[in-house]
A and B are shown apart, each in its own frame.
Chain A
């Protein structure tokens, strides 16, 4: 059974940093691209970032480019998102999502999310 468990969220001041983690199990982690998708309170889904299976390719939404960094440790089956220079509009529930066989296709499994709140 595929499981994705996010952690690392919390309350942070504007300009601060956080590191999110997503522990994965139930599939061959290194074979699949992984994504972060966020959802602000009461709003829709917003794709944040993606990383290829071996970590050599990364992709970012314009809204986070230069501030967030995605990475993965295939030896630990864990996905990361480093969040720097946080702003109030980064407040959201951050979901980790596994891509299907087509890296640019569907997101077939999602975690339950970790909440990031940016406020002074």
Chain B
């Protein structure tokens, strides 16, 4: 059971907008910034969104993040086939004194 809760799966058709939720608590999302990682099949995770809503250089602006209270979400607009991947949210947890991840959401592009 992961500390952060994500839906196990999500799907959409090309061009569509999809959102992935991430629910936590006061000690993690409520107190610290949220980061999102994309893991393409057979590869290492890659930083997608940091500090709730910032994109690293090279990440398309189709990807956006937001946070409110103890929840966060990742939105992908203009869905493309190459977006098919696992997505993970993460934050530091002040109570556990460590980093926590969501269980991951497998995105399928139909």
Contact B44 A105 (CB under 8 A): no
Residues of B in contact with A, size category: 20 to 34
Tally of contact residues, A, Cβ under 8 A: 25
Once the chains are docked, how many angstroms separate the CA of A50 from the CA of B98? 8
Question: Which chain A positions have C-beta within 8 A of B86?
Answer: 44
Q: Within 8 Å of chain A (Cβ to Cβ): is B68?
A: no
Q: Within 8 Å of chain B (Cβ to Cβ): is A56?
A: no
Q: Which of B44, B56, B100 contacts A47 (CB 8 A)?
A: B100
Min C-beta distance of A117 to chain B, whole Å: 18
* Chain B residue nearest to A4 in the complex (CB): B44
Q: Within 8 Å of chain B (Cβ to Cβ): is A106?
A: yes
Question: Which chain B positions have C-beta within 8 A of A50?
Answer: 98-99
Given A61-B98, A100-B50, is A45 in contact with B104 using a C-beta cutoff of 8 Å? Answer: yes
Contact A113 B35 (CB under 8 A): no
Q: Mark A48-87, 1 if CB is under 8 A from B, else 0.
A: 0010000000011110000000000000000000000000
Contact B45 A95 (CB under 8 A): yes
Q: Within 8 Å of chain B (Cβ to Cβ): is A25?
A: no
Q: Mark B1-24, 1 if CB is under 8 A from A, else 0.
A: 010000000000000000000000
Q: Which of A62, A104, A110 contacts B44 (CB 8 A)?
A: A110
Given A59-B98, A62-B96, A106-B51, is A45 in contact with B45 using a C-beta cutoff of 8 Å? Answer: yes
Q: Mark B59-94, 1 if CB is under 8 A from A, else 0.
A: 000000000000000000000000000101010100
Residue of B99, B100, B103 contacting most chain A CB atoms (<10 Å): B99
Given A44-B2, A44-B88, A62-B96, is A106 in contact with B101 using a C-beta cutoff of 8 Å? Answer: no
Question: Which chain A positions have C-beta within 8 A of B32?
Answer: 104-105
Question: Which chain B positions have C-beta within 8 A of A110?
Answer: 44-46
Q: Which of B47, B88, B92, B102 contacts A104 (CB 8 A)?
A: B92
Using CB atoms and an 8 Å cutoff, list the residues of chain B in contact with chain A: 2, 32-33, 35, 37, 39, 44-47, 50-51, 56, 86, 88, 90, 92, 96-104
